[in-house]
Amino acid sequence: MNKDSKIYVAGHRGMVGSAVWRALEKKGYRNLIGKTSKDLDLKNQTKVKEFFNLEKPDVVIDAAARVGGILANNDYPYQFIMENMQIQNNLIDESLKLGINKFIFLGSSCIYPKFAPQPLKEEYLLTDSLEPTNEWYAIAKITGVKACQAIRKQYNKDYVSLMPTNLYGFFDNFDLKTSHVLPAMIRKFHEAKINNNSEVTLWGSGTPMREFLFVDDMAEAVVYALENKLPEYLYNVGSGKDISIKELAETIQKVTGYQGNIVWDSEKPDGTPRKLMDVSKMKNLGWTYTTELQEGIEKTYLWFLDNIENIKEVKLEVN
């Protein structure tokens, strides 16, 4: 990959896209393109076509998506399935039409069945039913994976899909209504500490097992996929380690310095009982994570503190 190759990072202002941008700059890539959702509506096929014909990128990295946690997925199912399909379909189809040979599609571990064997292997895709609380987003992402696979098969182009585990880090969404579990906990514990609250109430039982990956490690996996032609169409990206939500809460409580009690609201949904990625395929190719969970949480909390004045309530939109 030439350092002057024109690389379009869709969603470059979001948590994943901004991490990818930083990683590319660190590696010396000088010709990066990014457009905000205000400048380019990726749901608009005509606008995407015009942009591609004007810029003619050599590589496309799709980190754009409408994202959210259990509550957001449950409340906005149509937006989660339709808008994500519109975004990725426009990017994938225009890349193919323009003759772009390298496309990296980023998804989520939620594409795998709810009760798939653990750890999750790539071949478990489409073998059983999905987790109902986020199936709309999952189905959209599965269509993107299969579209890229179809292009590999029919046109022999290097279109690859990377499925990260639960990501967290700089520029995360800390809105309690739409965020994922880890950033939501950081905000809850921080605000409880500031307000001297005696307890923090968290959703579920605390027993589900989850795997987490610092977003800058995910970005390094993207750069690895950029600089190497991966032999298969789908790869899991994660740490290969999981912890209970209760352990996660206790770790975040420790990092934030909150001294009160944790109360579990067991009437709220837990989601999938366990979600651990089998990351052996990426590891065998030469990529592995480097940031351990507590270190990543510490970095994320410091970023949160440094940017707390700029963290606003997030409306559901492409980031």
Catalytic positions, written as ranges? 137
109 is in an annotated binding site: yes
17 is in an annotated binding site: yes
90 is in an annotated binding site: no
141 is in an annotated binding site: yes
Structural tokens at position 249: 């809460």
Strands 243-244 and 209-210, by their bridges, are antiparallel
167 is in an annotated binding site: yes
- Closest CA relative to residue 21, chosen from 137, 164, 171, 184: 171
CB atoms within 10 A of CB 301: 18
Partners of 161 in beta bridges: 105, 234
180 is in an annotated binding site: yes
15 is in an annotated binding site: yes
203 is in an annotated binding site: yes
210 is in an annotated binding site: yes
106 is in an annotated binding site: yes
164 is in an annotated binding site: yes
Q: How far apart are CA 297 and CA 35, in angstroms?
A: 29
Binding residues: 11-17, 106-109, 141, 164-167, 180, 188, 203, 210, 270
List residues forming the annotated binding site for NADP(+): 11-17, 106-109, 141, 164-167, 180
State the binding site for substrate: 188, 203, 210, 270
